[in-house]
Amino acid sequence: MNPTLKRRDFFKKTAQAGMACCALMTTSKLGAFNNLFLEGEELDPKLLNYCGYKCPEDCTFLNASLENDVEMKKEVFKSWEINERFGIEFEADKIFCFGCKTKDKPEGVVLNNCTVRSCVIEKELECCIECDELVTCEKELWDRFPKFKEKVIEMQLTFLEAKK
């Protein structure tokens, strides 16, 4: 890490990283879902989000929220299709995410509207890989990303096999 990194350079590098992430996600329809967990890694539902995803450390949405960076939030708003999905206009103070299991931070519009998250919380589970109804579940997230659901079902099988 360069401690003398100028503010302008920092923002430029951050924007480039954010655009690269958005491009990857857009071109592969959430391509980050391809690497949910490392092969051979023991699955711990407590370390996964409610849906089974493990957010990357360089998540643009998280960084935009932590830095309260309006431009980065606008990028996320557009790439995540928040207006189309939830019918809200961009308001920087309403567009944020600090992670879906964070207890000491406010919940943004995406978390409040995530049906998988609310279901897992209601069932008092740590992650949907613990749910007996995952295979037949028809939540919005699974409709939008069927390949992701397939991966999560694979994770569930691995998790259940390891519990035997």
The answer to whether residue 31 scores a pLDDT higher than 50 is: no
pLDDT score, position 129:
96
CA distances from 124 to 36, 99, 110 (A): 22, 18, 20
CA angle 52, 53, 54 (to 5 degrees): 120
pLDDT tier at 42 (50, 70, 90 boundaries)?
Answer: confident
pLDDT tier at 119 (50, 70, 90 boundaries)?
Answer: very high
Percent of the chain with pLDDT over 90: 68
Q: What are the extents of the domains in the chain? A: 7-163
Mean pLDDT of 129-150: 95
Query: Could you report the per-residue pLDDT of 50-70, keeping only the tens digit for each?
Result: 999 998 989 999 999 999 999
pLDDT, the chain, mean? 82
- Confidence (pTM): 0.73
CB-based contact 107:126 (threshold 8 Å): no
